A and B are shown apart, each in its own frame.
Chain A
Amino acid sequence: MNKRYPVWWTFFTLLLVSSLMAAPLVWLVLTSLKTPEQLASEPYSWWPRPFRWQNYADAVNSIPFLRYLANTLLLCAGNVLGTLFSCSMVAYAFARLRWPGRDTLFAVLIATMLLPWQATMVPRFLIIRELGLYDTLGALIVPKFLGEAFYIFLLRQFFLTVPQSLIDAARLDGCSELGILFRVMLPLCRPALLTVGLLEFVATWNDYGGPLLYLNDPERFPLAYGLEQFISSHSSELNLLLAAAVLFTLPIVLLFAVLQRAFLSGMATTGLKG
């Protein structure tokens, strides 16, 4: 008796909170399917009558959606590739090679994670401009080939768990250090690479500040930035606006649904099976 009471209390609280958390998303999807007439009419009803799937076609057609999508995918491909390549190489150097100054430099790397990005924003912008990268996708992709502290840290933790004997054996067989990285470490650390790749993909898909700072030509806008342009020009057509938001959100939600296990495995290995 004493034990059942809190469980029921917990159940109903969770039911309430989960409903409140989900309600905005349910409203988002339902409203994106309403006709403009229904949106304007009283009294308010949640359910679209009729379902206007045309909203989605209209949203796609009223902005260069495919152009923006292509730009986003190009950015994602470049950034994921650059991040995986540079971060795994640097992580290997920090995890499995001994060289003078390594531990000091690693402490410096950790410290850079605390540095606010705004602190270096202005000179960074000017350097990118000097390099002739302003208003190109390169402005966003090239820095990714120079590694990122958090991912380096994450991969290093994984690389540390690979048995030393495998590395020694590869060295005896005359394998170069790059060869060891690509033929021994990376195949063994696939889950970690998947986690880092996924995180970077999502970060790039969602990034708004980067394009705001470095892109000017609408031809090069990625979806996140293009969507906002759509907001300013269509703020009165709520159904189209929300349809565009759904289209932008859906791939990320699906990605998490499919790769949930891979994604969460880095953070928590137990207790999430429900």
Chain B
Amino acid sequence: MNGSTSKRETYAGFLMVSPWFMGFAVLTVYPFLASLYWSFCRYDLLSSPKWVGFANYRRLGSELLAGETLALAIGNTAYFALLSVSFSVIMGVLLAVMLSVEVRGRAVFRTLCYLPSVVPIVAAAVLWIALLDPQQGLVNGLLVKLGLPAQGWFHSTSSALWPPSWPEDHAGRILGSKDGLVLMGVWSVGNLLVIYLAAIVDIPPQLYEAAELDGANRLRQFWHVTLPMLSPVVFFNVVIGLIHSVQAFTQIYLVSDGQGDPAGATLTLSLYLFLTAFKELDMGYASALAWLLFLVVLLITIWLFRISQRWVHHQGAA
């Protein structure tokens, strides 16, 4: 390559990357810095931002310490994110392993398991609000038929895995709105299935043959071959899944009447941020919340990469 060619490449490169760079500067960098500045201001969109120092962050801290709205939102976010990701990963891996076995009708099973994940989120929300209706819903009908207690779902503030949220005389009615959201998420696990299936197919068959020679049964093969070989993909999906569920918005907005109903049980950090900005018009506090959300996502990512060394199996040069 001579000098003129690389000059030509430089010009062309700058020119062709410019749309993204403009968008990056105007729609990412500037907003990022502006929201940092506004998080130190009182700003209601009607008058210009007024510097108030750390007032927004003090409010953030006091809400958190006093167990007020923000603490509730963080608790809801953590519950939803942890449960969604764990159930999706467990369901995803187990289903993918079963779907990789050559059984009769495998193509049909794959299609049926994948199908829910292409249903648009608005339609899925309409569907699940109807299915989980406490009185007329199909799911409660099924539970009652099986002799189990009907659940409150999107009308209940209870959380199945958080006993303090259970009502006094619950009699087994412990599944609430967040559990409904988790169920909706698990139903659309199909996207993950595609990824896990591809990863399972890539596992060299020699590993299973060697394990069989060593006398390992199917369960041990799953534990000692499939899982370690899948761990990088699982890790990737845990990172992406956590980041996505911390930011999840649409389905939560839709099942909660756009305000975290019932009684704030579905008020997550992202919904709280949205309502603060566009219902309260408190852009200053919303910006502080946005920065909190950003730091939460950043810390989750760093933490996951730290612990990944311990349990992700990296293949040597193959």
Contact = CB atoms under 8 A, between A and B. Distances in A.
B300 to A, nearest CB: 10
Contacts of A17: 95, 98, 109, 113
A116 B115 contact: no
B293 to A, nearest CB: 5
Determine the interface band of chain A, counting residues with CB < 8 A from chain B: 35 or more
B197 interface: yes
B250 interface: yes
Contacts of B22: 146
A14 B115 contact: no
A123 to B, nearest CB: 3
Nearest to B271: A118
B35 A127 contact: no
Given A122-B38, A124-B27, A253 B118 contact: yes
The SS class assigned to the A binding surface is helix
Nearest to A228: B122
Contacts of B104: 11
A31 B133 CA distance: 14
Determine the interface band of chain B, counting residues with CB < 8 A from chain A: 35 or more
Interface in A201-242: 202, 205-206, 208-209, 212-213, 224, 227-228, 231, 238, 241-242
A256 B246 CA distance: 28
B120 A22 contact: no
A256 B277 contact: no
Interface of A: 6-7, 10-11, 13-15, 17-19, 21-25, 27-28, 31, 44, 86, 89-90, 92-94, 97-100, 102, 105, 108-109, 112, 114-127, 143, 145-147, 152, 171, 176-178, 181, 202, 205-206, 208-209, 212-213, 224, 227-228, 231, 238, 241-242, 244-246, 248-249, 252-253, 256, 264, 267-274
Given A118-B273, A271-B201, A274-B110, A208 B250 contact: yes
Given A93-B16, A97-B13, A143-B23, A227 B113 contact: no
A61 to B, nearest CB: 18
Contacts of A241: 126, 130
17 contacts: A21-B112, A21-B115, A93-B17, A98-B13, A105-B21, A118-B273, A120-B32, A125-B277, A177-B16, A178-B16, A206-B120, A227-B122, A241-B126, A244-B126, A256-B118, A268-B194, A272-B197
B6 interface: yes
